[in-house]
């Protein structure tokens, strides 16, 4: 089936309130590409301000993580209902920087995804292999184990996207071959189909890892790639919009 292209900017730990104008420029320009869904996921501290702009100019704002509990004694954490209350409509879970830097397990990621879905958020669930696994030819097996352990059992397939981000390609400038990207996305689609049947055809699978305006068209044109999860290149309209434009040509 035809799936709408989806381009998501992960601002990571970047961006103060002064960057809201850049987000507004992205949202306004993205309206020219109505066939592409565009979202920005800033730091928690600016979600509310960015969401206020997004409501005015028809943008989508998300969070970068959430706690699996709706509330409680979890100092420093942010829950899915809190994200909704701040104006977010989507959240990233399981990013490699959370899995590796904060020791998040597949069980942790699944619990966060379930909590987000229950709160009404859409979810972008990340998977990806380290370089040693890629070099040992175990990448597909590694990622499919993450899929098996991280993806919730029950969900609306239009509210759950998978983002394949090879860890060794994030922020390094290194990019897998198009054949490798297509093979991984095809394997993910196949595993989802084996588990969820026809619902897998509705789910979008994004690629992430050093995506930029120069390589976006090729990467987005690879088999079973429905969009991109973009890091550093999403911080400015000048760098992010060429990726959106590339998606629009393929949408």
Annotated catalytic residues are 95, 165
Handedness of CA 77, 81, 85, 86 (dihedral sign): positive
**Ramachandran class of 189: left when φ > 0, alpha when ψ lies in -120 to 50, beta otherwise:** alpha
DSSP E strands in the chain: the ranges are 5-10, 36-41, 62-63, 90-93, 122-127, 160-164, 205-208, 227-230
Please answer whether residues 207 and 228 qualify as being in contact, where contact means their C-beta atoms are separated by less than 8 angstroms.
yes
Distance CA 104, CA 149 (A): 12
Nearest CA-CA partner of 224 in 250, 248, 195, 197: 250
DSSP state of 87: T
Distance CA 246, CA 248 (A): 5
Q: Please provide residue 59's backbone torsions phi and psi, each rounded to the nearest 5 degrees.
A: -115, 170
Please answer whether residues 138 and 103 qualify as being in contact, where contact means their C-beta atoms are separated by less than 8 angstroms.
no
């Amino acid at each position: 089936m035809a799936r709408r292209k989806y381009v998501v900017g992960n601002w990571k730990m970047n961006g103060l309130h002064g960057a809201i104008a850049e987000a507004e420029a992205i949202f306004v320009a993205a309206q020219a590409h109505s066939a592409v869904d565009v979202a920005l996921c800033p730091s928690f501290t600016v979600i509310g301000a960015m969401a206020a702009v997004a409501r005015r100019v028809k943008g989508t704002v998300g969070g970068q993580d959430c706690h699996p509990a709706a509330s409680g004694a979890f100092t420093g954490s942010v829950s899915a209902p809190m994200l909704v209350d701040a104006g977010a409509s989507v959240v990233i879970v399981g990013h490699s920087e959370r899995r590796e830097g904060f020791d998040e397990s597949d069980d942790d990621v699944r619990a966060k995804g379930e909590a987000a879905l229950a709160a009404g958020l859409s979810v972008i669930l990340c998977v990806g292999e380290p370089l040693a696994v890629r070099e040992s030819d175990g990448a597909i097996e590694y990622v499919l184990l993450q899929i098996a352990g991280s993806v919730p059992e029950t969900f609306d397939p239009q509210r759950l996207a998978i983002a394949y981000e090879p860890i060794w390609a994030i922020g390094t400038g290194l990019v897998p071959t198009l054949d490798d990207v297509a093979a991984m996305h095809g394997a993910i689609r196949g595993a989802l189909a084996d588990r969820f049947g026809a619902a897998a055809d509705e789910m979008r699978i994004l690629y992430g890892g050093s995506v930029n305006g120069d390589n976006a068209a090729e990467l987005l044109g690879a088999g079973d790639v429905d969009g991109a999860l973009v890091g550093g290149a999403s911080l400015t309209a000048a760098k992010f919009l060429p990726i959106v434009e590339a998606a629009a040509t393929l949408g």
